[in-house]
Structure 1
Amino acid sequence: MTRHAARTPADFRTASGRLQFAVVRGACLTALLLGTRTAVAAPPPAPAASGGPTIRMCSAVREGATCVDVEMSPRRPFALGRRAASDGADLPPGPAAWLARGQFFNDGGRRIFFRREGRGPTLLVLHGFPTSSYDYAAIWPALTARFDVIAVDLLGSGFSDKPFPYDYSVFEQADILVRLTAALGVARTHVLAHDYGGTVAQEVLARSNAGTSPLCVQSATFLNGGLFVDAQNLTPVHYLLDSPLGVPVGALTCEPVFKCITNSFAGDAGRNGVVDLEAWWAILNYNRGKRVMHGIIQYLDERKRYEERWTAALACAPCPVAYIYGAEDGVSGDSIARRFAEVVPNAPVVRLCGLDHYPHAEAAGRTAGVFHALHDRFGTPSAGAPPSADRGAVPPPPAPR
């Protein structure tokens, strides 16, 4: 895969860039001397059942927890079982509750975490890098009031498996989403995607546009994300993680450095404690997630290599598309919004003043209001609509095997 040729962007010459570089370098040296923080361990995956795809439900998240594989028959592609549970011993209360209310899809022996709640049309929500579906915790009640929401932890993120070493790819992430939604009986969905998840959504949309996927995208709304290579403004941290130093930089990152860097993307909400950085840090460390950051961030190279395909996915989309963004984001704010308006001239672009890279976490109510207003414009059924046909077709859980 094509690599970036240069690692000396102008960002390194700015005061902010020099500070970020110094902080990461200092963290690596400190971690080498003092050792890294103990990671939260996840239960090892068990082999997939031979009869076909399965949903795996875990009774606990501690090592040694037992898992039940529920085989999905061809006529009934998905069966609900016991939800994943946690005693909260290793995670802060928020992430522990989020994990307990979710489920695991067994994708060829790899566990993919997802949480599904709500009534109405299906909404697939995708998170950014290097965080998880928990980014949507604050906005979750507003989304589930109108939609049947499926929030997924992409492979290598959140509570999903994090294979290492591994060649992570946007295309495989899209494959997994197609298999998961098929297993859930979902053929049509709206999409809400942030950051890295936006790039994955572009690939899902490209397949839907071409009619080559069983999953039909009904609308796609993007939150802050580097949808266009020529308009994104990467920071020194991006370049370091994407460089040959990426594995040690990621693995040796400590909590103060993570919070310092994330605060620079979360604006006042991060500094004032509105964004739960402690929870985000705990989830990143779940199942040794820091070491896979270098592998996941290869999506930057894929953005460059497949820019034409993913830009065309937006330009040629037969469904409504929109961009909602925090105006204070220097990475994927105004520059991406201007390019989005050029590529899709008639699409809504909503600028949220005073917000940074995580509008759905920084100001959940405000972001939800804009999102619902867009769907009123799209003609999506309003709150209180009956459950989607896909959701209603879910059969009762089978007896444990």
Structure 2
Amino acid sequence: MALPGIALDQWRAQCQHFEFKGHQLCYWTAGPEDAPPLLLIHGFPTASWDWHYLWRPLAEHYRLIACDMLGFGYSAKPAGHAYSLLEQADLHQALLAQLRITDGVHLLAHDYGDSVAQELLARHQEGRIKLASCVFLNGGLFPETHHPVLVQKLLLSPVGPLIGRLFNRKKLEASFAKVFGPDTLPGSAELDDFWTLISHDNGPAIMHRLIRYMPERRQQRDRWVAAMQATQVPMRLIDGAVDPISGLHMVERYRVLIPQADTVVLDGIGHYPQTEAPEAVLAHYLEFRQAVAQAAD
């Protein structure tokens, strides 16, 4: 049975607010407060609504936390800000502290969020946060296998500010058509909602600033990969195979670099498995968590 999801206006109405470094951020919670905490971390250029198909079924099992990161969705988008993956990790730790969640945090991340999760995993190894598990969806876990689309390359170039200002719904549709699976493309209404999130509060004007995560990934690559190789935190990669950015070629690299790699490949699925194949992602995630729980007993 297809998962029903949550309408964007209903999702926004459930937003709660917290302040981080003087900026107002939107966050969401669901599920029993005494259940294991699961932090969901969204990707670029979208927002936490990406998880809306999985939100209710996951909330039956876990205490869910998700926020629109600084510069995304319904959170603040300061125009002159130097956006950083490390700061986004700080933001998540601040939110967890506000919610009085101190340890045993599980992560489910996608795209840009994968890099934030890698930073949190490195901090776990350094004793700065306590994680319980980590599941990655499609994302640039390894800079050497990341194949950015043209608009990302242009945003990172000297003409980036202009490219951002010119970015519109039509260009979003063209970009998504390249990275989604051929049989799982977003419909017109879903594209409208994605565009609403991106364009909110003049979001395209800062896209050239947000895209600086790509060189930051290269700077942190060795530290993050070393953490993934050394950690005892259970990990799984659930990946849409036909994603040209971080599809099967990235899975193959993951299997080379990560000891006892736990990987799931979703055939015919592209860069957004949580919206293209949410039922499959849910099944593989719950299976993973069951195995983690059994191993802990």
For normalisation by structure 1, the TM-score amounts to 0.69
Structure 2 residues not aligned, in runs of 5+: 1-5
Q: Is the CA contact 1:270–1:276 (under 8 Å) kept in the aligned structure 2?
A: no
Partner Cα separation in structure 2 for residue 378 and residue 235 of structure 1: 35
Mapping 1:250-329, distance limit 5 Å: 250-268=164-182, 271=185, 273=187, 276-329=190-243
Say which SS state the counterpart of residue 180 (structure 2) adopts: helix
Q: Deviation digits for residues 255-314 of structure 1, max 9, x if unmatched? A: 111112112222245536298111000011111111111111101001111110111121
Q: Is the CA contact 1:159–1:286 (under 8 Å) kept in the aligned structure 2?
A: yes
| Match of residue 205 from structure 1 | 121
Partner Cα separation in structure 1 for residue 11 and residue 231 of structure 2: 33
From 246, 268, 290, the counterpart of 1:376? 290
| Match of residue 3 from structure 2 | none
User: 4+ residue stretches of structure 1 with deviation over 4 A?
Assistant: none
- 1:141 CA drift (Å): 1.6
| Match of residue 223 from structure 1 | 137
Deviates more, 1:350-359 or 1:309-318: 309-318
Q: Deviation digits for residues 180-214 of structure 1, max 9, x if unmatched? A: 10110011210000000000110011011110x2x
- 1:99 CA drift (Å): 1.2
Q: Is the CA contact 1:320–1:378 (under 8 Å) kept in the aligned structure 2?
A: yes
- Structure 1 residues 345 and 117, CA gap change in structure 2 (3 angstroms): same
- Structure 1 residues 275 and 347, CA gap change in structure 2 (3 angstroms): farther
Say which SS state the counterpart of residue 118 (structure 2) adopts: helix
Q: Deviation digits for residues 27-72 of structure 1, max 9, x if unmatched? A: xxxxxxxxxxxxxxxxxxxxxxxxxxxxxxxxxxxxxxxxxxxxxx
Is 1:186 the counterpart of 2:101 in the alignment? Answer: yes
Structure 2 letter corresponding to 1:164: A
Partner Cα separation in structure 2 for residue 296 and residue 380 of structure 1: 40
Partner Cα separation in structure 2 for residue 380 and residue 302 of structure 1: 37
Partner Cα separation in structure 2 for residue 380 and residue 118 of structure 1: 22
Partner Cα separation in structure 1 for residue 207 and residue 294 of structure 2: 36
Partner Cα separation in structure 2 for residue 222 and residue 269 of structure 1: 23
Name whichever structure is richer in helix by fraction: 2
Q: Is the CA contact 1:266–1:275 (under 8 Å) kept in the aligned structure 2?
A: no
Q: Deviation digits for residues 120-155 of structure 1, max 9, x if unmatched? A: 210000011000000011111221111111011111
| Match of residue 48 from structure 2 | 133
Q: Is the CA contact 1:263–1:270 (under 8 Å) kept in the aligned structure 2?
A: no
- 1:175 CA drift (Å): 0.8
| Match of residue 84 from structure 2 | 169
For normalisation by structure 2, the TM-score amounts to 0.93
- Structure 1 residues 248 and 274, CA gap change in structure 2 (3 angstroms): closer
- Structure 1 residues 269 and 139, CA gap change in structure 2 (3 angstroms): farther
- Structure 1 residues 272 and 301, CA gap change in structure 2 (3 angstroms): closer
From 8, 11, 16, the counterpart of 1:103? 16
Say which SS state the counterpart of residue 219 (structure 1) adopts: strand
Q: Considering only aligned residues, what root-mean-square deviation do their CA atoms show, in Å?
A: 1.7
* Identity, % of aligned positions: 35
Q: Is the CA contact 1:125–1:193 (under 8 Å) kept in the aligned structure 2?
A: yes
Say which SS state the counterpart of residue 181 (structure 2) adopts: helix
| Match of residue 85 from structure 1 | none
Partner Cα separation in structure 2 for residue 316 and residue 173 of structure 1: 23
| Match of residue 111 from structure 2 | 195
- 1:117 CA drift (Å): 0.1
Say which SS state the counterpart of residue 128 (structure 1) adopts: coil
Compare CA radii of gyration and give the structure with the larger one: 1
- 1:371 CA drift (Å): 0.7
Q: Is the CA contact 2:183–2:268 (under 8 Å) kept in the aligned structure 1?
A: no
Structure 1 residues not aligned, in runs of 5+: 1-92, 382-401
- Structure 1 residues 206 and 272, CA gap change in structure 2 (3 angstroms): closer
- Structure 1 residues 343 and 197, CA gap change in structure 2 (3 angstroms): same
Partner Cα separation in structure 2 for residue 313 and residue 187 of structure 1: 20
Mapping 1:9-88, distance limit 5 Å: none
Query: Size of the alignment, in residue pairs?
Result: 287
Partner Cα separation in structure 1 for residue 196 and residue 67 of structure 2: 18
